[in-house]
Amino acid sequence: MEAYEFIRNAIIEGDYEPGMRLTEEFLAAELQLSRTPIREALKRLQTEGLITPLKRGLSVRTFSPQDIQQIYDLRALLEGYAASQAALLRSEHDVQVIKKINLLYAQAINRFDHSHAVTIKEIARLNNRYHEAILAASHNNHIEFLISKVVVLPLVFRSFFWYDQPAVKQSLLDHQIILRAIELQDPDRAKTAMMEHIYKGRDHVLLHLSEISDKEEETL
């Protein structure tokens, strides 16, 4: 795996946590590579907004409540529009792809509930695939490009680690409602369901951060 993919995956999956300082020396030792590919990977990740500069070195990006509010609100608008376009323009193949991914998502959630044989990482990956499949079904490269600039994958991915079983099951129910609206070619329903789904995710993340803040204040 090349340096860029390794570091990006480590950030997205939370192995490199928000605020963690990243240096070329550390990463070169971690990946057993020279500094040149590390330096190029860090420049690319900084451009993508996954890392931010420090006086010396770089750190994994952190998010304030205001950041989260703005990111999710923009995501709701863009993905809501994409879902409506998918309902209008999807092919039968698109519908089958979304159905297949959502079935895998449901199976992963079921295995997680009963035995934890599947990790929350797999559930989060399948969730990302589901949203990507809807974007593909919109057949609009422009909206895909815009969403790629707005959706911060580490934030979305890590939010799943804060979900309990009822919340994960609610996410699956939302997916099924969105899928049904797309299958029935109901753009208004698809848009509304997608926006509501993302707003639920936003509220979940903000509530979790608020609870962490309250606990920290109690220990002071």
Q: pTM of this prediction? A: 0.81
Q: CATH 1.10.10.10 in the chain, residues?
A: 3-60
Structure tokens at 49: 């907004």
Topology, domain 65-219: Four Helix Bundle (Hemerythrin (Met), subunit A) (1.20.120)
- For the segment 24-30, the average pLDDT, to the nearest whole number, is 92
- Is the four-CA dihedral 61, 63, 64, 69 of positive or negative sign? positive
Compare 157 and 9 and report the one with higher pLDDT. 9
Mean pLDDT score of the chain? 88
Taking every pair of Cα atoms in the chain, the longest distance, rounded to a whole number of angstroms, is 57
Q: How far apart are alpha carbons 105 and 175 in whole angstroms?
A: 9
Q: Which two tokens stand for residue 1?
A: 């795996």
Contact of 192 with 81, CB cutoff 8 Å? no
Give the integer Cα–Cα distance in Å for 163 and 170: 10
Strands 21-22, 51-53: pairing is unpaired
Element (H, E) at 21: strand 21-22
pLDDT digits (tens, 9 = 90+) for 87-116: 999 999 999 999 999 999 999 998 886 666
Q: Could you give the residue range(s) of every CATH 1.20.120.530 domain in the chain?
A: 65-219
- Residue in this structure with the two tokens 């550390």, named with its chain if needed: 26
- Of 90-94, 158-162, 206-210, give the lowest mean pLDDT range: 158-162
**CATH code for the domain defined by 3-60:** 1.10.10.10
pLDDT digit string (tens) for 54-64?
A: 888 899 988 88
CA 105 to chain CA centroid, Å, is 14
DSSP letter string over 174-200?
A: HHHHHHHHHHTT-HHHHHHHHHHHHHH
Report pLDDT for 107. Answer: 94
Distance, in Å, from the CA atom of 143 to the CA atom of 129, rounded to the nearest integer, reads: 16
